[in-house]
Structure 1
Amino acid sequence: MRKYKMRIAELTLKPIKTKPPMTLPQARIQGLKQGVDRSRQQLKQEQERQRQQRENERKQKQLRQR
């Protein structure tokens, strides 16, 4: 015997409510926030790229010294 039984009402999907269109100021704020997020991500990627580059240069220098 099953411990839990689901009812038909629990299986029916609820309709998705649509969001009203944004006002121009709201759209501007959202765009600025997205720009900030993109900039942060690009900054992290660039920092990681430079870190990798420094690490590779150190390895090359160690290999030359041997």
Structure 2
Amino acid sequence: MRIYELQTIKSLTPQQARVSALKQQKERASDMLKAEKDRQKQQKATQAIQQNNQILANLNN
């Protein structure tokens, strides 16, 4: 490595580390919430398709 490629890594104070950890936790929770909402939306759409298919099958008989 060249000298200009090296960067000093600053250690965080306990307060900064806590804030950083809370921010990361918030981001993970937000991602999990979005994934759950998407899953529920997909499940609802699948159920609607199944119900429509049943109605069409009953009409064709």
Counterpart check, 1:63 vs 2:53: yes
Q: TM-score, length-normalised on structure 1?
A: 0.76
> 2:11 is matched with which residue?
21
Q: TM-score, length-normalised on structure 2?
A: 0.82
Distance 2:6 2:13 in 1: 21
Fraction of identical pairs, as percent: 31
Structure of larger gyration radius = 1
> 2:59 is matched with which residue?
none
Distance 2:42 2:25 in 1: 26
Distance 2:42 2:26 in 1: 24
Q: Aligned partner of 1:35: which letter? A: Q
Aligned length: 55
Q: CA RMSD in A?
A: 1.4
Unmatched 5+ stretches in structure 1: 1-11
